[in-house]
Amino acid sequence: MPPRERLERGPVAIIECVQPIPCNPCVEACKSGAITKKSLADPPKLDYEKCTGCGECIAVCPGLAIFVVHLNFKEGRSLVMIPYEMLPEPERGGIYEALDREGKPIGEARVIAVRRKPGKTLIVSLEVDRDIAMSVRNIGRRLR
């Protein structure tokens, strides 16, 4: 987990890859060299100071284990970028249930962008209340 001071400064990736899985697309996707691995099977390590929060690593992670948090996106609001592989695709401007890692609703999320790349996982950018930003991992049903 990035230190609080780094989270306050701007967008940064958070990697929740805890399994020793032999893969490295996140390392290859990171243009700033912030993600490294000692060996192919080791979990990735993120240098928070090098990370720009671009989100390129999100779309290539087969385990959907990477997201980006911009804690100070707006006054009292945060930006959370998540991987998304379900249908229908969320719509920009829509308000959805914000879900935690157990799938429980914890608030509301406004979709502010949906980034598509051919053959890659969607990256959905959500605006959420700052107090739930570190817990949001997905979205549920559309509320409005």
Q: What is the pLDDT of residues 81-93, one digit of tens each?
A: 999 999 999 999 9
Q: What is the pLDDT of residue 125?
A: 99
Residue-level pLDDT at 20: 85
Q: Which are the contacts of 75, defined by CB distance < 8 A and separation ≥ 6?
A: none
- How many structural domains are present in the chain? 1
Place 100 in a pLDDT band, splitting at 50, 70 and 90.
Answer: very high
Mean pLDDT for the stretch of residues 67-75 = 96
Under DSSP, the state recorded for 26 is H
First to last CA, the chain: 33
Position 120 scores a pLDDT of 87
For residue 71, is pLDDT > 90? yes
| Position 86, amino acid | M
CA distance 48 to 55: 13
Structural domain that includes position 71:
4-142
Q: Provide the strand spans (E) within the chain.
A: 12-15, 35-36, 45-46, 66-74, 77-84, 95-99, 105-115, 122-129, 138-142
Instruction: Return d(Cα 23, Cα 50) in angstroms, integer.
Output: 21
Phi-psi region of 53 (alpha: psi -120 to 50; beta: other; left: phi over 0): left
In whole numbers, what is the pLDDT of the chain averaged over residues? 96
pLDDT at 139 over 90: yes
In the numeric block, which tokens belong to residue 66?
Answer: 């990477």
CA dist list (Å): 88 to 28, 80, 81, 102: 29, 20, 18, 21
3: Cβ–Cβ under 8 A, 6 or more apart, which residues? 48
Could you tell me the pLDDT band of residue 48, with boundaries at 50, 70 and 90? very high
Edge-to-edge order in the sheet of strand 66-74: 12-15, 66-74, 77-84, 122-129, 105-115, 95-99, 138-142
Q: What is the model's pLDDT at position 5? A: 93
pTM of the model: 0.94
pLDDT value at residue 19: 82
Q: What is the pLDDT of residue 117?
A: 85
